[in-house]
Structure 1
Protein backbone atom coordinates (compact mmCIF):
# COMPACT_ATOMS: atom_id res chain seq x y z
CA UNK A 1 0.00 0.00 0.00
CA UNK A 2 1.48 3.33 -1.07
CA UNK A 3 0.82 6.60 0.65
CA UNK A 4 -0.71 9.43 -1.35
CA UNK A 5 2.02 11.85 -2.50
CA UNK A 6 0.30 14.84 -0.88
CA UNK A 7 0.29 13.06 2.47
CA UNK A 8 3.96 12.13 2.10
CA UNK A 9 4.93 15.74 1.30
CA UNK A 10 2.93 17.00 4.28
CA UNK A 11 4.56 14.43 6.58
CA UNK A 12 8.04 15.41 5.41
CA UNK A 13 7.39 19.11 6.01
CA UNK A 14 6.01 18.41 9.49
CA UNK A 15 9.12 16.43 10.41
CA UNK A 16 11.66 19.09 9.46
CA UNK A 17 13.80 20.12 12.48
CA UNK A 18 12.87 23.16 14.65
CA UNK A 19 15.63 25.25 13.08
CA UNK A 20 13.65 25.13 9.81
CA UNK A 21 10.50 26.64 11.36
CA UNK A 22 10.24 29.66 9.03
CA UNK A 23 10.92 27.52 5.97
CA UNK A 24 8.18 25.09 7.04
CA UNK A 25 5.69 27.96 7.28
CA UNK A 26 6.54 29.22 3.80
CA UNK A 27 5.98 25.75 2.31
CA UNK A 28 2.66 25.25 4.09
CA UNK A 29 1.34 28.59 2.83
CA UNK A 30 1.99 27.91 -0.84
CA UNK A 31 -1.22 28.13 -2.89
CA UNK A 32 -0.52 25.09 -5.05
CA UNK A 33 0.26 21.54 -3.91
CA UNK A 34 3.95 20.61 -3.90
CA UNK A 35 5.12 17.40 -5.52
CA UNK A 36 7.74 15.19 -3.89
CA UNK A 37 10.24 16.13 -6.60
CA UNK A 38 9.61 19.86 -6.07
CA UNK A 39 10.00 19.46 -2.32
CA UNK A 40 13.37 17.79 -2.84
CA UNK A 41 14.48 20.76 -4.96
CA UNK A 42 13.29 23.28 -2.36
CA UNK A 43 15.12 21.42 0.40
CA UNK A 44 18.40 21.26 -1.51
CA UNK A 45 18.23 25.00 -2.31
CA UNK A 46 17.43 25.87 1.30
CA UNK A 47 20.26 23.64 2.52
CA UNK A 48 22.71 25.41 0.18
CA UNK A 49 21.47 28.82 1.33
CA UNK A 50 21.95 27.84 4.96
CA UNK A 51 25.50 26.63 4.31
CA UNK A 52 26.38 29.97 2.70
CA UNK A 53 24.73 31.85 5.56
CA UNK A 54 26.65 29.82 8.15
CA UNK A 55 29.92 30.59 6.35
CA UNK A 56 29.16 34.35 6.39
CA UNK A 57 28.22 34.25 10.08
CA UNK A 58 31.39 32.32 10.93
CA UNK A 59 33.54 34.91 9.13
CA UNK A 60 31.76 37.77 10.92
CA UNK A 61 32.18 36.04 14.29
CA UNK A 62 35.89 35.54 13.67
CA UNK A 63 36.28 39.27 12.96
CA UNK A 64 34.38 40.17 16.13
CA UNK A 65 36.51 37.71 18.11
CA UNK A 66 39.68 39.38 16.85
CA UNK A 67 38.31 42.79 17.86
CA UNK A 68 37.35 41.45 21.28
CA UNK A 69 40.79 39.93 21.80
CA UNK A 70 42.36 43.23 20.77
CA UNK A 71 40.18 45.17 23.19
CA UNK A 72 40.87 42.59 25.87
CA UNK A 73 44.60 43.05 25.40
CA UNK A 74 44.29 46.84 25.61
CA UNK A 75 42.09 46.63 28.68
CA UNK A 76 44.52 44.20 30.26
CA UNK A 77 47.42 46.60 29.76
CA UNK A 78 45.33 49.45 31.13
CA UNK A 79 44.36 47.40 34.17
CA UNK A 80 48.00 46.55 34.78
CA UNK A 81 48.94 50.23 34.63
CA UNK A 82 46.10 51.13 36.95
CA UNK A 83 47.08 48.32 39.28
CA UNK A 84 50.70 49.41 39.43
CA UNK A 85 49.70 53.01 40.04
CA UNK A 86 47.30 51.98 42.78
CA UNK A 87 49.93 49.74 44.32
CA UNK A 88 52.37 52.60 44.50
CA UNK A 89 49.80 55.00 45.99
CA UNK A 90 48.14 52.49 48.31
CA UNK A 91 50.54 49.70 49.17
CA UNK A 92 48.70 46.48 50.00
CA UNK A 93 45.26 47.74 48.86
CA UNK A 94 45.22 46.35 45.32
CA UNK A 95 42.64 43.55 45.63
CA UNK A 96 39.82 45.76 44.31
CA UNK A 97 41.73 46.32 41.10
CA UNK A 98 42.13 42.56 40.60
CA UNK A 99 38.40 41.91 40.94
CA UNK A 100 37.30 44.98 38.99
CA UNK A 101 34.58 44.17 36.48
CA UNK A 102 35.42 44.23 32.80
CA UNK A 103 34.24 47.31 30.98
CA UNK A 104 32.17 47.21 27.82
CA UNK A 105 29.32 44.93 26.77
CA UNK A 106 29.10 41.42 25.33
CA UNK A 107 28.81 41.43 21.52
CA UNK A 108 26.23 38.61 21.70
CA UNK A 109 23.74 39.45 24.47
CA UNK A 110 24.62 43.13 24.95
CA UNK A 111 25.04 42.79 28.72
CA UNK A 112 28.10 44.29 30.45
CA UNK A 113 30.73 42.50 32.50
CA UNK A 114 31.87 39.74 30.14
CA UNK A 115 33.09 38.98 26.62
CA UNK A 116 31.24 37.06 23.92
CA UNK A 117 33.24 33.83 24.37
CA UNK A 118 32.24 33.87 28.07
CA UNK A 119 28.53 34.52 27.43
CA UNK A 120 26.30 31.90 29.08
CA UNK A 121 23.48 32.67 26.62
CA UNK A 122 25.73 31.86 23.66
CA UNK A 123 26.98 28.69 25.34
CA UNK A 124 23.38 27.59 25.94
CA UNK A 125 22.48 28.26 22.30
CA UNK A 126 25.49 26.27 21.05
CA UNK A 127 24.54 23.38 23.34
CA UNK A 128 20.99 23.33 21.93
CA UNK A 129 22.36 23.53 18.40
CA UNK A 130 24.63 20.54 18.98
CA UNK A 131 21.80 18.51 20.51
CA UNK A 132 19.68 19.02 17.39
CA UNK A 133 22.49 18.24 14.92
CA UNK A 134 21.25 14.69 14.38
CA UNK A 135 17.78 16.02 13.54
CA UNK A 136 19.22 18.29 10.86
CA UNK A 137 20.63 15.19 9.12
CA UNK A 138 17.03 14.26 8.37
CA UNK A 139 17.03 16.89 5.62
CA UNK A 140 19.64 14.93 3.69
CA UNK A 141 17.40 11.86 3.81
CA UNK A 142 14.25 13.73 2.83
CA UNK A 143 15.82 15.63 -0.08
CA UNK A 144 16.46 12.35 -1.92
CA UNK A 145 13.81 10.15 -0.36
CA UNK A 146 12.07 9.52 -3.68
CA UNK A 147 15.30 7.93 -4.92
CA UNK A 148 15.90 5.45 -2.07
CA UNK A 149 16.48 1.93 -3.30
CA UNK A 150 13.73 -0.43 -2.14
CA UNK A 151 11.73 2.59 -0.97
CA UNK A 152 8.85 0.37 0.17
CA UNK A 153 10.98 -0.83 3.10
CA UNK A 154 11.26 2.68 4.60
CA UNK A 155 8.34 4.90 5.62
CA UNK A 156 8.26 8.48 6.84
CA UNK A 157 6.37 8.80 10.10
CA UNK A 158 5.79 12.42 11.15
CA UNK A 159 4.99 11.21 14.66
CA UNK A 160 8.18 9.20 15.11
CA UNK A 161 10.80 10.74 17.39
CA UNK A 162 13.40 8.07 16.55
CA UNK A 163 14.61 6.17 13.51
CA UNK A 164 13.38 2.58 13.89
CA UNK A 165 14.52 -0.47 11.90
CA UNK A 166 13.15 -4.03 12.07
CA UNK A 167 15.90 -5.65 9.96
CA UNK A 168 19.02 -6.51 11.96
CA UNK A 169 20.99 -7.24 8.78
CA UNK A 170 20.73 -3.56 7.77
CA UNK A 171 22.76 -2.40 10.78
CA UNK A 172 26.42 -1.54 10.22
CA UNK A 173 26.99 -1.42 13.98
CA UNK A 174 24.66 -2.43 16.79
CA UNK A 175 24.82 -2.57 20.59
CA UNK A 176 22.42 -4.11 23.05
CA UNK A 177 19.78 -1.75 24.43
CA UNK A 178 17.08 -2.32 27.03
CA UNK A 179 14.94 0.74 26.28
CA UNK A 180 11.20 0.68 25.82
CA UNK A 181 9.65 2.32 22.74
CA UNK A 182 6.20 3.88 23.08
CA UNK A 183 4.10 3.32 19.96
CA UNK A 184 1.39 5.57 18.54
CA UNK A 185 -1.38 3.16 19.62
CA UNK A 186 -0.34 3.52 23.29
CA UNK A 187 1.41 0.12 23.31
CA UNK A 188 5.08 -0.47 24.13
CA UNK A 189 7.76 -2.66 22.56
CA UNK A 190 11.21 -3.70 23.73
CA UNK A 191 14.19 -2.14 21.96
CA UNK A 192 16.60 -4.98 21.21
CA UNK A 193 19.51 -2.81 20.16
CA UNK A 194 20.75 0.56 18.92
CA UNK A 195 23.24 1.37 16.17
CA UNK A 196 23.87 2.82 12.72
CA UNK A 197 22.09 1.95 9.47
CA UNK A 198 23.26 2.87 5.97
CA UNK A 199 20.70 3.98 3.38
CA UNK A 200 21.69 3.85 -0.29
CA UNK A 201 20.15 5.99 -3.03
CA UNK A 202 19.79 5.07 -6.68
CA UNK A 203 22.14 7.98 -7.41
CA UNK A 204 24.89 6.01 -5.67
CA UNK A 205 24.98 8.27 -2.62
CA UNK A 206 24.93 6.72 0.83
CA UNK A 207 23.79 8.15 4.13
CA UNK A 208 24.28 6.69 7.60
CA UNK A 209 21.51 7.08 10.17
CA UNK A 210 22.85 7.05 13.72
CA UNK A 211 21.21 5.92 16.98
CA UNK A 212 18.65 3.80 15.12
CA UNK A 213 16.51 1.53 17.32
CA UNK A 214 16.38 -2.16 16.42
CA UNK A 215 12.79 -3.29 17.01
CA UNK A 216 11.85 -6.57 15.24
CA UNK A 217 8.17 -6.13 16.16
CA UNK A 218 7.52 -3.06 13.96
CA UNK A 219 5.96 -3.69 10.54
CA UNK A 220 7.87 -0.95 8.68
CA UNK A 221 11.21 0.76 9.07
CA UNK A 222 10.54 4.34 10.16
CA UNK A 223 12.50 7.49 9.33
Structure 2
Protein backbone atom coordinates (compact mmCIF):
# COMPACT_ATOMS: atom_id res chain seq x y z
CA UNK A 1 0.00 0.00 0.00
CA UNK A 2 1.47 3.36 -1.06
CA UNK A 3 0.92 6.49 0.99
CA UNK A 4 1.52 9.75 -0.83
CA UNK A 5 -0.79 12.31 0.77
CA UNK A 6 0.22 14.62 3.60
CA UNK A 7 0.56 14.03 6.52
CA UNK A 8 0.72 10.29 5.93
CA UNK A 9 3.32 10.69 3.22
CA UNK A 10 5.45 12.76 5.60
CA UNK A 11 5.18 10.01 8.22
CA UNK A 12 6.33 7.48 5.65
CA UNK A 13 9.31 9.69 4.80
CA UNK A 14 10.25 10.03 8.47
CA UNK A 15 10.12 6.27 8.98
CA UNK A 16 12.14 5.61 5.83
CA UNK A 17 15.13 7.37 7.43
CA UNK A 18 15.48 4.23 9.57
CA UNK A 19 14.48 1.64 6.99
CA UNK A 20 10.90 1.33 8.27
CA UNK A 21 7.71 1.57 6.23
CA UNK A 22 4.01 2.10 6.75
CA UNK A 23 2.11 -1.19 6.56
CA UNK A 24 -1.42 0.07 6.02
CA UNK A 25 -4.00 1.20 8.52
CA UNK A 26 -7.67 1.78 9.14
CA UNK A 27 -10.19 3.81 11.11
CA UNK A 28 -11.74 2.12 14.12
CA UNK A 29 -15.44 1.37 13.81
CA UNK A 30 -18.07 2.34 16.36
CA UNK A 31 -18.29 -0.25 19.09
CA UNK A 32 -14.71 -1.48 18.80
CA UNK A 33 -12.64 -1.65 22.01
CA UNK A 34 -11.46 1.85 22.88
CA UNK A 35 -7.73 2.57 22.80
CA UNK A 36 -6.26 5.80 24.07
CA UNK A 37 -4.62 8.28 21.75
CA UNK A 38 -1.77 10.58 22.74
CA UNK A 39 -3.89 12.80 25.01
CA UNK A 40 -5.88 9.93 26.51
CA UNK A 41 -8.91 10.57 24.31
CA UNK A 42 -10.14 7.62 22.22
CA UNK A 43 -8.04 6.77 19.20
CA UNK A 44 -9.91 6.83 15.91
CA UNK A 45 -7.22 5.66 13.48
CA UNK A 46 -4.21 3.36 13.43
CA UNK A 47 -1.26 3.17 11.04
CA UNK A 48 0.96 0.11 11.26
CA UNK A 49 4.73 0.42 11.06
CA UNK A 50 7.02 -2.36 9.95
CA UNK A 51 9.65 -3.53 7.54
CA UNK A 52 10.09 -5.34 4.24
CA UNK A 53 13.21 -7.48 4.13
CA UNK A 54 16.12 -6.42 6.31
CA UNK A 55 16.09 -2.70 5.42
CA UNK A 56 16.18 -1.52 9.07
CA UNK A 57 19.15 -3.74 9.97
CA UNK A 58 22.02 -1.29 9.18
CA UNK A 59 20.24 1.49 11.10
CA UNK A 60 19.64 -0.81 14.07
CA UNK A 61 23.26 -2.02 14.05
CA UNK A 62 24.63 1.54 14.08
CA UNK A 63 22.35 2.39 17.01
CA UNK A 64 23.37 -0.78 18.87
CA UNK A 65 27.07 0.00 18.56
CA UNK A 66 26.48 3.38 20.20
CA UNK A 67 24.91 1.86 23.33
CA UNK A 68 27.22 1.98 26.37
CA UNK A 69 26.09 -1.41 27.69
CA UNK A 70 24.11 -4.47 26.58
CA UNK A 71 20.34 -3.97 26.29
CA UNK A 72 17.65 -6.57 26.78
CA UNK A 73 15.47 -6.93 23.68
CA UNK A 74 17.54 -4.42 21.71
CA UNK A 75 15.57 -4.59 18.46
CA UNK A 76 12.30 -3.93 20.29
CA UNK A 77 13.96 -1.07 22.17
CA UNK A 78 15.35 0.50 18.98
CA UNK A 79 12.02 0.10 17.15
CA UNK A 80 10.16 1.72 20.02
CA UNK A 81 12.57 4.66 20.16
CA UNK A 82 12.27 5.31 16.43
CA UNK A 83 8.49 4.98 16.32
CA UNK A 84 7.95 7.05 19.49
CA UNK A 85 10.01 9.88 17.99
CA UNK A 86 7.91 9.83 14.81
CA UNK A 87 4.71 9.66 16.87
CA UNK A 88 5.71 12.75 18.84
CA UNK A 89 6.40 14.68 15.64
CA UNK A 90 2.98 13.85 14.18
CA UNK A 91 0.66 13.93 17.19
CA UNK A 92 0.22 10.20 17.60
CA UNK A 93 0.67 7.59 20.33
CA UNK A 94 3.17 4.82 19.59
CA UNK A 95 2.39 1.25 20.60
CA UNK A 96 4.45 -1.91 20.20
CA UNK A 97 3.75 -5.64 19.70
CA UNK A 98 5.64 -6.28 22.96
CA UNK A 99 3.46 -3.92 25.03
CA UNK A 100 1.43 -5.49 27.83
CA UNK A 101 -1.42 -6.23 27.68
CA UNK A 102 -0.79 -7.44 24.14
CA UNK A 103 -2.56 -5.60 21.36
CA UNK A 104 -4.06 -7.52 18.40
CA UNK A 105 -1.29 -6.69 15.96
CA UNK A 106 -1.83 -9.70 13.72
CA UNK A 107 -5.56 -8.95 13.43
CA UNK A 108 -4.74 -5.32 12.72
CA UNK A 109 -2.24 -6.38 10.06
CA UNK A 110 -4.71 -8.69 8.32
CA UNK A 111 -7.26 -5.89 8.30
CA UNK A 112 -4.80 -3.22 7.16
CA UNK A 113 -3.18 -5.18 4.33
CA UNK A 114 -5.68 -7.93 3.54
CA UNK A 115 -3.19 -10.70 4.36
CA UNK A 116 -3.70 -14.26 5.62
CA UNK A 117 -1.43 -16.48 7.75
CA UNK A 118 0.93 -18.96 6.13
CA UNK A 119 1.19 -22.53 7.52
CA UNK A 120 4.00 -21.16 9.74
CA UNK A 121 1.67 -18.55 11.25
CA UNK A 122 3.60 -15.66 9.66
CA UNK A 123 1.37 -13.56 7.44
CA UNK A 124 2.05 -14.24 3.76
CA UNK A 125 2.64 -11.07 1.76
CA UNK A 126 2.19 -11.19 -2.04
CA UNK A 127 5.50 -9.37 -2.62
CA UNK A 128 7.60 -9.89 0.53
CA UNK A 129 6.62 -13.51 1.16
CA UNK A 130 7.47 -14.34 4.77
CA UNK A 131 10.26 -11.76 4.96
CA UNK A 132 8.56 -8.84 6.63
CA UNK A 133 7.53 -7.77 10.13
CA UNK A 134 5.44 -5.30 12.09
CA UNK A 135 7.42 -3.18 14.54
CA UNK A 136 4.75 -0.93 16.00
CA UNK A 137 1.76 1.27 15.29
CA UNK A 138 0.67 4.88 15.51
CA UNK A 139 -2.67 5.74 17.13
CA UNK A 140 -4.37 9.00 16.18
CA UNK A 141 -7.30 10.80 17.80
CA UNK A 142 -8.58 12.00 14.43
CA UNK A 143 -9.71 9.95 11.47
CA UNK A 144 -7.18 9.71 8.68
CA UNK A 145 -7.91 9.19 5.00
CA UNK A 146 -6.55 5.68 4.54
CA UNK A 147 -7.15 3.64 1.38
CA UNK A 148 -9.11 0.49 2.17
CA UNK A 149 -7.01 -2.62 1.64
CA UNK A 150 -8.08 -5.11 -0.98
CA UNK A 151 -7.77 -8.80 -0.17
CA UNK A 152 -4.24 -9.75 -1.19
CA UNK A 153 -3.43 -12.77 -3.30
CA UNK A 154 -2.70 -15.55 -0.82
CA UNK A 155 0.27 -17.33 -2.34
CA UNK A 156 -0.04 -20.30 0.00
CA UNK A 157 -3.26 -21.31 -1.74
CA UNK A 158 -1.32 -21.89 -4.97
CA UNK A 159 1.56 -23.69 -3.30
CA UNK A 160 0.97 -27.43 -3.72
CA UNK A 161 4.24 -28.83 -2.38
CA UNK A 162 4.24 -26.83 0.90
CA UNK A 163 8.04 -27.07 1.44
CA UNK A 164 7.57 -24.98 4.59
CA UNK A 165 6.04 -28.07 6.23
CA UNK A 166 8.71 -30.53 5.04
CA UNK A 167 12.12 -28.99 5.68
CA UNK A 168 12.45 -29.08 9.46
CA UNK A 169 14.26 -32.26 10.66
CA UNK A 170 11.92 -32.56 13.65
CA UNK A 171 8.72 -31.54 11.88
CA UNK A 172 8.22 -28.50 14.09
CA UNK A 173 5.50 -27.16 11.82
CA UNK A 174 2.61 -29.25 10.59
CA UNK A 175 -1.08 -28.96 9.87
CA UNK A 176 -1.54 -29.57 13.59
CA UNK A 177 0.36 -26.44 14.54
CA UNK A 178 3.77 -25.59 15.95
CA UNK A 179 5.65 -28.06 18.17
CA UNK A 180 7.42 -25.41 20.23
CA UNK A 181 9.34 -27.71 22.58
CA UNK A 182 10.52 -29.99 19.77
CA UNK A 183 11.79 -26.93 17.88
CA UNK A 184 13.66 -25.56 20.89
CA UNK A 185 15.24 -28.91 21.70
CA UNK A 186 16.46 -29.24 18.13
CA UNK A 187 17.81 -25.69 17.91
CA UNK A 188 19.72 -26.15 21.17
CA UNK A 189 21.11 -29.56 20.11
CA UNK A 190 24.01 -30.48 17.89
CA UNK A 191 21.72 -30.95 14.89
CA UNK A 192 20.43 -27.41 15.23
CA UNK A 193 23.61 -25.71 14.00
CA UNK A 194 22.11 -24.79 10.57
CA UNK A 195 19.10 -23.22 12.30
CA UNK A 196 21.29 -21.26 14.69
CA UNK A 197 23.50 -20.01 11.88
CA UNK A 198 20.94 -19.26 9.20
CA UNK A 199 17.44 -19.32 10.62
CA UNK A 200 14.40 -21.58 10.45
CA UNK A 201 14.73 -24.17 7.68
CA UNK A 202 10.97 -24.26 7.10
CA UNK A 203 10.79 -20.49 6.66
CA UNK A 204 13.79 -20.50 4.35
CA UNK A 205 12.19 -23.23 2.23
CA UNK A 206 9.34 -20.94 1.17
CA UNK A 207 9.92 -19.92 -2.48
CA UNK A 208 8.11 -16.58 -2.28
CA UNK A 209 9.68 -13.18 -1.69
CA UNK A 210 13.19 -14.60 -1.97
CA UNK A 211 14.64 -11.20 -2.86
CA UNK A 212 13.55 -9.96 0.58
CA UNK A 213 15.01 -12.92 2.49
CA UNK A 214 16.82 -11.82 5.64
CA UNK A 215 20.61 -12.32 5.48
CA UNK A 216 22.00 -15.16 7.59
CA UNK A 217 23.29 -12.86 10.35
CA UNK A 218 19.85 -11.27 10.73
CA UNK A 219 18.19 -14.67 10.91
CA UNK A 220 20.78 -15.84 13.44
CA UNK A 221 20.03 -12.78 15.58
CA UNK A 222 16.32 -13.60 15.59
CA UNK A 223 17.00 -17.26 16.34
CA UNK A 224 19.08 -16.29 19.38
CA UNK A 225 16.18 -14.17 20.65
CA UNK A 226 13.59 -16.86 19.94
CA UNK A 227 15.52 -19.77 21.46
CA UNK A 228 17.22 -17.71 24.21
CA UNK A 229 20.60 -19.06 23.12
TM-score by length of 2: 0.22
In proportion to residue count, which structure has more helix?
1
More relative contact order, 1 or 2 (CA 8 Å, 6+ apart): 2
Larger radius of gyration between Structure 1 and Structure 2: 1
